[in-house]
Amino acid sequence: MSVLGWIIAFSVFGSLLSVVMAAGYLLLPERTRVRSLTFLVSFAIGVLLGVAFIHLLPHALHDASIHDSNAIMVTVLLGIFVFFILEKALIWRHAHHHGHDASSEHRGDQSAGALIVVGDTFHNFIDGILLTAAFVTDVHLGIATGFALIAHEIPQELGDFAILINSGMSRLRAFILNGVTSLAMVIGALVAWWGIQQVQAVLPYILAFTAASFIYIAVADLIPSLHRGVRLRDTIAQMVLIAAGILLIAAFHSTEIV
């Protein structure tokens, strides 16, 4: 299959699979959902960190010149800082809505739903760009990045579904809307395919920025959610699943270099 074929297949497959899996997860009994979510998140953490440190950063550093290696690491730091600022802006927006009186609560929920649709569309578009950058660098890297994107999209889609339903949408409409916004990943991937062909020199920096996004999502967003439970049995299970996610990516990397 051609590189473009891989990009189209993975962007369509990844965007729709995450929505379908998130929707299917919501059909499970609430007790099962609550119990299993931390385990799903734990595995996603391992996958994200594994792809960032085992795949993306080594590729970015390898493709950059010796003089550019420091610039690659600075790109990672700047990427983490950018995601911190973006998340702060979203938190401020959320707090601003909930600071209003009770009469505006429903209107705030509707605004939150609209904000999620716009934000998710942009997020998926960027994911498509990152996916293309990985595939253009190496097909194996693209596949690993695609799985990492799916891993972090599922918990995100669960949150999006909850916000849309809370804003007054039916489950069916929320599912359709999430499916449509997820296709922005395909558009982003195709736009990037055309653009990256013109500017190959920026590829290492896009890979470094992608690594920064995965590191930030894992460390700042997902790991803190695991600290809400302190039972030893759950903690051990979380550690095992994080390690399993990393080992899965490491095993995939070993088959790539053989």
Look at residue 106 in the predicted model and tell me its pLDDT: 45
Q: What is the DSSP string of 4-61?
A: HHHHHHHHHHHHHHHHHHHHHHHTS-HHHHHHHHHHHHHHHHHHHHHIIIIIIHHHHH
Note the helical H segments in 99-168.
105-137, 139-166
Provide the mean pLDDT of the chain.
80
Average pLDDT over every residue of 127-150: 89
Tell me, rounded to whole angstroms, the distance of Cα 90 from its chain centroid: 16
Task: Assess whether pLDDT exceeds 90 at residue 81.
Answer: yes
Average pLDDT over every residue of 2-27: 85
Angle in degrees, CA 122, 9, 218, rounded to 5: 50
CA 233 vs CA 152, 202, 229: distances in Å: 24, 45, 10
Task: Assess whether pLDDT exceeds 90 at residue 218.
Answer: no
Task: Assess whether pLDDT exceeds 70 at residue 144.
Answer: yes
Task: Assess whether pLDDT exceeds 80 at residue 215.
Answer: yes
Average pLDDT over every residue of 219-223: 86
Confidence of residue 76 (pLDDT cuts 50, 70, 90): very high
Other beta carbons less than 10 A from residue 139's beta carbon: 17
- CA dihedral (91, 93, 99, 101) positive or negative: negative
Confidence of residue 91 (pLDDT cuts 50, 70, 90): low
User: Nearest Cα to 127, choosing from 256, 243, 7?
Assistant: 7
Angle in degrees, CA 131, 1, 125, rounded to 5: 20
Angle in degrees, CA 68, 209, 96, rounded to 5: 140
Look at residue 83 in the predicted model and tell me its pLDDT: 86
Per residue in 160-210, pLDDT tens?
Answer: 776 677 667 777 888 888 888 888 999 999 999 988 777 677 888 888 998
Q: Measured in Å, how far apart are the chain's first and last C-alpha atoms?
A: 20
